[in-house]
């Protein structure tokens, strides 16, 4: 171990108290809406979504402390998940449902809950994400061993773990996460498709038509390991985050998505986005979640 590494370890230990306790800081109100639509062309909805809230409360039950000096403490985090299944009418919906259910069940078995962003560094974020992805892959392999036809199924998965004002995004496939902040819409995730890989390598966008839905990464039982893209975003009051499947992003361009997200009501924004995708043809299932934080 180098002297610099020793100093780093010493500093980390010396600053333990400062890193262990996190100041309460600003409080945020979180608004959430979600919807999924079959679309106009599909006979079956292969998309699934979920929004969950996790709470941690410290409640004083018995004490001789003055009651005015003691306040209960509660922390909240939110999980947002969208998944777009693949593998045909029989298995696409099962695949997306299985991915989300596995995450929800695994989160209840986690030995520790992340309730503050300061609990994590970039490495531990990736390790926790990898643990959930591995659990999903195990579930896919289990069902594939029972029914060989299920080996063909797979799903995208885009997730946002909100620890207001922080958001941890993880992505596998071509469902997307966007941030709408101060009038600007930013695509946070990178499409994990053959077309995007070729564009990143220098190919012209016009030369990759027809390859936009060829995934180079997805959840499924035929792989031993799948890597997720992971990133961190810090929101400010009034910002909105959008998670959606390609049934929305293929049908509605960024300018129109941004315009819809300016609506005062989250539900109105959600309804407008669904309607615009349907008016544009509704060629696929349409699923989206919108989250907003507001300082209180």
- The domain spans of the chain are 26-59+70-295
119: left (phi over 0), alpha (psi -120 to 50) or beta: alpha
Give the SS3 label for residue 92.
helix
Find out whether the peptide bond into 165 is cis, omega within 30 degrees of 0. Answer: yes
Q: What is the pLDDT of residue 88?
A: 65
pLDDT tens per residue across span 130-189: 999 999 999 999 998 898 888 889 999 999 999 999 999 999 999 999 999 999 999 999
pLDDT at 223: 76
Query: Could you list the mean pLDDT of each consecutive 10-residue stretch along the chain, which spans 296 residues?
Result: 37 40 65 96 94 84 76 80 84 94 85 63 81 93 88 94 93 97 97 88 80 88 85 95 97 98 96 98 97 94
Distance CA 205, CA 5 (A): 46
Helix (H) or strand (E) holding 241: strand 240-244
Measured CA to CA, the distance from residue 272 to residue 295 in angstroms comes to 25
Provide CATH code, domain 26-59+70-295. Answer: 3.60.40.10
In tens, the pLDDT along 156-166 reads: 999 999 999 99
pLDDT at 18: 43
Q: Where are the beta strands (DSSP E) in 7-128?
A: 28-37, 47-58, 73-86
pLDDT at 32: 97
β-bridge mates for residue 105, sequence order:
none
């Amino acid at each position: 171990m180098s002297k610099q590494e020793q100093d780093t370890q010493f500093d980390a230990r010396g600053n333990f108290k400062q890193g262990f306790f996190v100041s309460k800081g600003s409080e945020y109100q979180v608004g959430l809406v979600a919807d999924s639509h079959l679309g106009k062309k599909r006979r079956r909805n292969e998309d699934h979504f979920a929004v969950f809230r996790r709470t941690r409360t410290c409640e004083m039950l018995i004490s001789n402390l003055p009651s005015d000096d003691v306040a209960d403490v509660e922390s909240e985090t939110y999980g947002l998940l969208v998944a777009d299944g693949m593998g045909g009418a029989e298995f696409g919906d099962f695949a997306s449902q299985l991915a989300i259910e596995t995450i929800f069940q695994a989160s209840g078995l986690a030995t520790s809950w992340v309730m503050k962003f300061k609990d994590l560094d970039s490495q531990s974020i990736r390790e926790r994400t990898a643990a959930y992805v591995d659990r999903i892959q195990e579930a896919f392999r289990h069902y594939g061993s029972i029914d060989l036809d299920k080996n063909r199924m797979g799903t995208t998965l885009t997730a946002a773990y909100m620890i207001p004002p922080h958001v941890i995004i993880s992505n596998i496939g071509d469902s997307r996460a966007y941030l709408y902040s101060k009038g600007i819409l930013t695509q946070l995730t990178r499409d994990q498709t053959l077309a995007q890989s070729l564009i990143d390598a220098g190919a012209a966008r016009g030369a990759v038509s027809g390859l936009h839905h060829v995934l180079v990464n997805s959840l499924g039982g035929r792989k031993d390991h799948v890597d997720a893209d992971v990133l961190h975003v810090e929101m400010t009051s009034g910002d909105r985050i959008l998670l959606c499947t390609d049934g929305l992003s293929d049908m509605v361009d960024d300018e129109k998505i941004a315009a819809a997200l300016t609506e005062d009501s989250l539900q109105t924004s959600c309804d407008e986005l669904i309607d615009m995708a349907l008016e544009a043809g509704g060629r696929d299932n349409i699923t989206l979640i919108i989250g907003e934080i507001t300082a209180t």
